[in-house]
Structure 1
Amino acid sequence: MKQNYALALGSAFLLWLAWPPVPYSSPLLFVGFVPLLVAIENIIRGTYTRKGRKIFWISFFTGFLWNTASIYWVYNSMNAYLSGYVALLISLIPFGLAPLLMAAVFRLYYQMRKKTNLIFSFGGLLSFWVGYEFLHQWWDLAFPWMTLGNGFANFHQLVQWYSYTGVFGGTMWVWTINLLLFVLIWQKKEKINVYSNTGIGLTALSLLVIPISVSLLLYSNYEEHKNPSQIVVVQPNIDPYVKFGSMPPEAQLESLIQLSEKVAKPNTEFFIWPETAISAERGIDENEFRSYPAYERILQFLENYKNGNVLSGIESYQLYSDPKTPTAREVSAGVFWDPFNAAVLVDRSSKLQFYHKSKLVPGVEQLPFGRALSFMKPLFAHFGGSTGGYGSQPEPSVFYAQSGIGAAPVICYESIWGNYVAEYIKQGAQFIAVVTNDGWWGDTSGKDQHLQYAKLRAIENRRWVARSANTGISAFINQRGDIVQQTAWWEPTAITQEINLNEDLTFYTRYGDIILYLSLLGGVVSVYLMVGRKKTRKQDLISHI
């Protein structure tokens, strides 16, 4: 087994090296799983006992090392909110849970190998893997950071066709080539020729060259329609660990305004401020926001900008006379308080638009499986975590300026969900405004990965992204996914850019993750083949390759 674990280690190293933010390393994804597949095949064909268990743990080994090396920064972000013990516990979600799900995929693949031929087994592996990635977008422990298609964020010129498939197209691309190369390498290693090596090689080469060629053609020929809008993005650089200890909310607001004024032009239409930029020590009552001095100061600032709008993150809450939401908790007799990590649009009219973050961070902004785990609320409260969780809204909503421009207010973690961001675009958003605070993670690769992933949202929907990050990295990203401007890390600054608004809908925006739906159907067929077929004879299992 030592040789097999060495192969599994090789896969972990290749996958880590291929992952953002290492520039132009994504092609390593095409070979990243090959050593692990060879190790699994060695186990299948060997004289080992409990082969399924061995395949599970060797796959977990690869997944754990790859995930931990790529997203080691998660502990920093958890530790920002929670005490050390709970931070470590919640960090196990991506460090441990995701590798367990990955290992389960390979265990199911082994079951397929025992019941059916190699081609069906490969189909099952693809379907189960995409199913795992879908699960990690959908359930209460969602963390789709490591979706394979995200791995091309550092080489976005290769995946311009994400405007048709989204990131699941990248996942299928990676796995298809890995499987073909595995069969080619295994047959050469074993000196067998069950399938034509020439055919496999040509197929793998075609599946590599054709999508890249199409992508480069799309990239070089794509032209944005001229529909300009002047945008300002502000990076105030307020240390999140001492948000109110460093300066009072009034001084923070003045800093945002002063940085905005340094780069603003008379025709500036949007000022984008980061997550929780507008705040008070006890939060902002949304129903009473117009009575706050901060609101009056923003209106005063906008007097110099005829078409100006402030789109900002805000720490807000609402008060109810009854527990109308699952997250509302009673703070006094007959008064229920519901807090939000939110965004707000302020213009020179009396209208206010709020959006409540929907994709909440498990264990930090929401208690996963809240009803089932309600008994753990005292534990989380004791260690500084979320007990009731933040309130949210079920669907995204678009902010509309008086001029009619639609902006997608995407808050931090939400920018990882391609299908969710596409919902903003279907509602009429003409550009994407990402407001975030990446300072919790420190100067790690987390902030760089988060920036890179925003490039994929630009490609999927062909929309500019204006990204305001409290401590960096703030940026403007065009409709091809190019970073046109970006700031340095940990620097108070502001940048301005004339972007092009877009009203056209891409195929992906219109129809969503078709590849996902087909894969889920394939998963159902695979389960039927595993359950409904008789066990394959041992000799058949060995001769499948």
Structure 2
Amino acid sequence: MKKNLPLAILSGLLLWIAWPPTPYTTFLLFIGFVPMLLAMENIIQSTSAKKGRQIFNTTFIGFFIWNVGSVYWVYNALKQVGDLVAIPITLIPYSLGPLLMATACWLYYRLRLMTGRGWGLAGLVCFWIGYEYLHQSWDLNFPWMTLGNGFATTHQWIQWYEYTGVYGGTIWVWGLNILAFLIYAGLREAQPKKVRLKLITAFVLLLVLPLSFSLFTYYNYTEQKNPSNVIAVQPNIDPYEKEGSIPVNQQLDIMINLSKRVAQPNTEFFLWPETAIPDYINEDDINANQYFKQAQHFLRSYKNSTLITGGETYRFYNSRATSTASPTEQPGIFADNFSSALGIENSGKVQIYHKSRLVPGAESLPFGNALSFLKPVFEHLGGATGAYGSQPDVGVFYSQSGIGADPVICFESIWGAYVARSVKKGAQFIAVITNDGWWENTSGKDQHLDYAKLRAIETRRWVARSANTGISAFINQRGDVVQQTKWWTQDVIKQDINLNSDITFYVEHGDYLPEAGSILAVLLIGFVIVGPRFKKRSVA
């Protein structure tokens, strides 16, 4: 393991250097896995025992370096509670992804034993896609490190995401890395020149053809003219002071005054960030809430406008109507708390969307149904269980003139297929409201902005982004950031965006690539389990 560990570490470093928000090193993704593949090959070809364990341990170390280097900022969101709590909790996102990645490599080794290098490498791509799809689907979801996200700073290269989503990028990266590895292995193994030439040709074609298609699409893409005036507000209120030292009405005054600074008669949407209204609002009596009234009163000067704002809301039930509902002080009464987006108009109509992609641990209890037997214990100790409630599917807010907006709250913006479902239901632009101040001035806020470019390309929709402390921005249908604010400054920006009602192939079909890849991965895992009953073929 010792002589292969430097190769795994090299892979981890290359992938970290290539990862957003750095735009000039993305090309390293095309070779970043090569040292890791060479390390696994060395182990497979060696005469040492326990090769599977060696492969798992070696690859885990490399992937751990990549993940920690890329999402180190997760710690910043928790450090306020103290290192004794923050460090163990942050080890979950730091370690869980690498564990799943290393498992995919271990499965590759097991498949390799029964088939050969070619089929094994093909299986590795399926296992990897299966891991990525699992990691965006289960209760411990954290798809931040999905490999296709790595092109977020070089969006000109992946305009074809409107057909494949980010998983097309995953396959592209793995295909090029495997070909580069086979070329190097061919030199080391003295393969015939014809074989190496074919591999080099395949590598060049796989690199050049998607890249050429993307650049051609990027420079020839033209938006249909269908303007709508949108304003994004950045109040720059310290997230640790939102629910304490600054009165709620004063926070709303800040956002109202910023909105008025650039508002015009034809403004159709105002965007305020996540939890812009930090006081809990009863959804069943929302029109009587003083802060709701304050926000609605502001709209009187803009008759045709809709305000999309984040807010904390709750709802009472006469029984435990949902799995996340908790008992209140009143006997027989339960309540759900929500991180919500509110669509407010001049009329009495209010549109409410409940955040559905919740942050594991911070906003949701992972595997809540399986751990439901623990709820009485938490309740007896005085704690809430299940944290936030959610709604089962996407929402679309419609303005009085019929414009559809996709309300996306923070973490949700990294789910391509989820955003696409809202677009398929009628959203003509994407409204991201977030509060990235928890991460402080780290690359987390920049990555979050960069990932929004991918949603613009997949759906061919403008993205309007209101972030409490930054970075607020407008992103066009090609993924270009047309306007953006500075970090930790109070600001407001406006833009005439072009609405779009056309449906892309990806919006129509969703995550068909990872679904197919996951099915193949499950079949191959079954083969790996059943395979030992049969005579193993020699490793190529």
TM-score (norm 2): 0.96
Aligned residue in 1 for 2:264 = 265
Distance 2:6 2:220 in 1: 44
SS of match in other structure, 1:244: coil
Gaps of 5+ in 1: none
Taking the aligned partners of 2:229 and 2:341, their CA distance within structure 1 comes to 20
Quick one: which amino acid aligns to residue 116 of structure 1? T
| Residues 25, 154 of structure 1: 8 Å contact kept | no
Q: Structure 1 residue 200: deviation in Å? A: 0.2
2:477 maps to 1:482:
no
Summarize the Cα distance change of 1:155–1:123 in structure 2 as closer, same or farther, 3 Å threshold.
Answer: same
Partner of 1:78: 78
Structure 2 counterpart of 1:318, from 315, 318, 336: 315
Which secondary structure does the structure 2 equivalent of 1:270 belong to?
strand
Tell me, in whole angstroms, the C-alpha distance in 1 between the residues paired with 2:243 and 2:69. Answer: 33
| Distance of 1:444 and 1:385 partners within structure 2 | 32
The residue correspondences of 1:21-36 to structure 2 (distance < 5 A) are 21-36=21-36
Q: 2:424 aligns with which of 418, 423, 426?
A: 426
Aligned residue number for residue 38 of structure 2:
38
Moved more, 186-195 or 16-25: 186-195
* C-alpha displacement of 1:382: 11
Cα deviation 1:126-167 (Å, max 9, x = unaligned): 100000000000000000000000000010000000000000
Please give the secondary structure, in 1, of the residue aligned with 2:134. helix
Q: Secondary structure at the match of 2:336?
A: strand
| Distance in 1 separating the partners of 2:465 and 2:268 | 15
1:500 CA drift (Å): 0.3
Separation in 1 of the partners of 2:300 and 2:402?
19
The one of 270, 279, 302 equivalent to 1:305 is 302
Q: CA deviation at 1:297?
A: 1.9
1:53 maps to which residue? 53
Aligned partner letter, 2:286: F
Instruction: Give 1:194 shift.
Output: 9.2
CA contact (8 A) 2:431 2:465 kept: yes
- Check the 8 A contact 1:267/1:306 in 2, yes or no: no
SS at match of 1:303: helix
Whole-Å separation in 2 of the counterparts to 1:195 and 1:421: 46
Q: Partner of 2:234 in structure 1? A: 235
Which residue of 2 is the match for residue 17 of structure 1?
17
Equivalent position of 1:173 in the other structure:
172
Counterpart check, 1:463 vs 2:458: no
Please give the alpha-carbon distance, in whole angstroms, between the structure 1 residues aligned to 2:36 and 2:312: 46
Shift of 1:322: 1.3
SS in 2 for 1:276: coil
Report how far residue 380 of structure 1 moved. 7.9
Match of 1:363 in 2: 361
Contact 1:124 1:523 survives alignment (8 Å): yes
Change (3 A) 1:460 1:480: same
> Per the alignment, do residues 386 and 481 of structure 1 end up closer, same or farther by CA in structure 2, a change over 3 Å counting?
farther
Q: Could you tell me which residue of structure 1 aligns to residue 212 of structure 2?
A: 213
CA contact (8 A) 2:326 2:385 kept: no
In 1, the alpha carbon distance for the partners of 2:123 and 2:294 equals: 59
Report the Cα offset of residue 535 of structure 1.
3.9
Letter paired with 2:298: F
1:526 Cα offset (Å): 2.0
Inter-CA distance 324–209: structure 2 relative to 1 (3 Å threshold): same
How many residues align? The count is: 537
| 2:251 equivalent to 1:285 | no
Residues 242, 278 of structure 2: 8 Å contact kept: no
Structure 1 residue 531: Cα displacement? 3.7
**How has the CA–CA distance of structure 1 residues 98 and 362 changed in structure 2, closer, same or farther, with 3 Å as cutoff?**
same
2:133–2:515 contact (8 Å) kept in structure 1: no
Distance 1:428 1:106, change over 3 A: same
What is the distance in 1 between the residues matched to 2:398 and 2:52? 55
Is 1:349 the counterpart of 2:335? The answer is: no
In the TM superposition, what are the counterparts of 1:154-169 in structure 2 within 5 Å? 154-169=153-168
Give yes or no for contact 1:130–1:168 (8 Å, CA) kept in 2. yes
CA RMSD of aligned residues (A): 1.9
Residue matched to 1:4 = 4
Question: Partners of 2:454 and 2:383 in 1: how far apart?
Answer: 32
Query: Is 1:317–1:340's contact at 8 Å kept on the other side of the alignment?
Result: yes
1:65 pairs with 2:65 = yes
Conservation of the 8 A alpha-carbon contact between 1:231 and 1:497: yes
Greater alpha carbon shift after TM alignment, 367-376 vs 27-36: 367-376
| C-alpha distance in 1 between matches for 2:408 and 2:129 | 25
Q: 1:386 to 1:146 in 2, by over 3 A?
A: farther
* Shift of residue 371, structure 1, vs aligned partner: 3.2
Measure how far apart 1:120 and its partner are: 1.3
Aligned to 1:402: 400
Q: Assess, with a 3 A threshold, how the Cα gap between structure 1 residues 363 and 378 changes in structure 2: closer, same or farther.
A: farther
Aligned pair in 2 of structure 1 residues 386, 469: CA closer, same or farther (>3 Å)?
farther
Counting only pairs closer than 5 Å after superposition, residues 93-132 of structure 1 correspond to structure 2 as 93-132=92-131
Determine helix, strand or coil for the equivalent of 1:246: coil
Deviation of the 1:379 alpha carbon: 9.3
1:376 shift after superposition: 6.0
Amino acid at match of 2:21: P
Shift, 1:383, TM fit: 11
Distance (Å, rounded) in 1 between the aligned partners of 2:514 and 2:106: 21
Q: Secondary structure at the match of 2:272?
A: strand
Provide the C-alpha distance between the structure 2 equivalents of 1:396 and 1:376, rounded to a whole number of angstroms.
Answer: 29
Which residue is equivalent to 1:330?
A: 327
Matched, 1:388 2:402: no
User: Matches of 1:527 and 1:440 in 2, distance apart?
Assistant: 40
Q: Does the CA-based 8 Å contact 1:234-1:494 persist in structure 2?
A: yes
Q: Distance in 1 between matches of 2:149 and 2:194?
A: 32
Distance 1:225 1:188, change over 3 A: same
Deviation at 1:372, TM superposition (A): 2.9
**Post-superposition offset of 1:388:** 2.5
Per the alignment, residue 507 of structure 1 pairs with: 505
> One-letter code of the match for 1:493?
D
| 1:477 alignment partner AA | I
Alignment check: 8 A CA contact 2:243 2:278 kept: no
Distance 1:86 1:535, change over 3 A: farther
Q: Which moved more, 1:49-58 or 1:114-123?
A: 114-123
- Distance, in Å, in 2 between the alignment partners of 1:245 and 1:528 is 54
Is the Cα–Cα contact under 8 Å of residues 133 and 518 in structure 2 kept in the other structure? no
Report how far residue 49 of structure 1 moved: 1.0
Q: How does the TM-score come out when normalised to structure 1?
A: 0.95
8 Å Cα contact 1:86/1:380 also seen in 2 = no
Q: Given the superposition, is the C-alpha separation of residues 365 and 528 from structure 1 closer, same or farther in structure 2, using an over 3 Å criterion? A: closer
TM-superposed CA distance for 1:184, in Å, is 0.5
Instruction: Render the CA deviation track for 1:455-506: whole Å, top value 9, x for unaligned.
Output: 0000000000000000000000000000000000001110000000000000
Deviations 1:349-391 (A, max 9, x none): 1111000000010011011112333466699899998632100
